[in-house]
Amino acid sequence: MEDAILSLENQAMERWRNGDPGGFVELSAGDITYVDPGLASPIIGLENYRSYMQQVQGKIHYQGSEFIQPKVVTLGDAAVLSYNYRSSELSPDGKILNQTPWNATEVYFRRYGQWKIVHTHWSFIHHKLPESLEIPIPVQMSQQEYPGLLGEIMALESAAMERWRKGDPGGFIELYTPETTYFDTGTPQRLGGAALRAEMAQRQGQIYYDVMEFIAPGIQVQGNMAVLFYRFFSTRLNPDGSIASRIPWNCSEVYVRSDGQWRILHNHWSYIKGEQV
């Protein structure tokens, strides 16, 4: 099963690097959600995704395509594929002219016997925010209540984030499974195991902000796997209550249910419109 998913991803990537995004479009489900560094808000739905991809038809060409430590975790009819990726432009004599390093998360669900991508999150490794940014966001006029499973998982996410914003990563650590993997803006590669624990230990007491905003969270579910995605603002205030700084994020969290409890299997954080360093 893992080999089958890797094969699908590689076939689509071979078409992509030769200017044809159609492989990923054909592989995507009708309810695909998609995040990449060029977007201020996620793309939702296959028709919107197809229109977005048509804009790059014939415009992307590179020779070197490296999947670095791809990992597939399957759970019934659901799977999460994560990897670091390096795209390289080569000269005719094979010398590297330009390389771009990426973090990639793909969530696949098997529907009607076929594996389909339901969520994609791409970001540059070591990326930064642009100087300025315009982000369209919905404005809620009343307290937002999330129904069903979205509400259950958002309660877990919100409680962990409340601890995180006060310098305590323990809320998220307690939600992690032993197999949890992690991407964010500064990690040089996907982290897991002892490396992830060490990273979280370094962040203890280092992160503080005053206001947390979850923007339009959504969820996609297949059996005992759920992918939660949202945009997020972490905001610091001046003593007078005015905004000192605001950082905009994309977040994808893959949760799995075991023994009746939802736990995080994979995280992917990136800056909205993050630029390569």
In this predicted model, what pLDDT tens digit does every residue of 158-200 receive, in sequence order? 999 999 999 999 999 999 999 999 999 989 999 999 999 999 9
Domains of the chain: residue spans and CATH: 2-127 (3.10.450.50), 148-276 (3.10.450.50)
CB 17 within 8 A of CB 87: yes
174: its two tokens: 């307690």
Q: Is 50 helix (H, G, I), strand (E, B) or coil?
A: helix
**In whole angstroms, what is the distance from residue 164 CA to residue 184 CA?**
15
- CA-to-CA distance for 249 and 215, rounded, in angstroms? 10
Pseudo-torsion of CA 117, 49, 99, 87, nearest 10°?
40
State the distance between the two ends of the chain, measured CA to CA, in whole angstroms.
Answer: 36
Contacts of 253 (CB under 8 A, 6+ apart): 157, 227, 228, 229, 264, 266, 267, 268
* The predicted structure's pLDDT at residue 69: 97
The DSSP secondary-structure symbol of 132 reads -
Question: Is 30 exposed, middle or buried (CB count within 10 Å of its CB: 0-12, 13-18, 19+)?
Answer: exposed
Are 272 and 250 spatial neighbours (Cβ–Cβ below 8 Å)? yes
Residue 243 has a pLDDT of: 96
Tell me the per-residue pLDDT of 106-153, one tens digit each, with 9 for 90 and over.
999 999 999 999 999 999 998 999 999 999 988 877 778 899 999 999
Give SS3 for 94.
coil
User: Can you tell me the mean pLDDT for 196-223?
Assistant: 96
In the structure encoding, which two tokens stand for residue 240, read together?
């007078």
Q: Could you say which DSSP state residue 95 is in?
A: -
Residues facing 229 on adjacent strands: 218, 252
Instruction: State the pLDDT at residue 93.
Output: 84
Predicted TM-score of the model (pTM): 0.96
| Predicted local distance difference test score (pLDDT) of residue 140 | 79
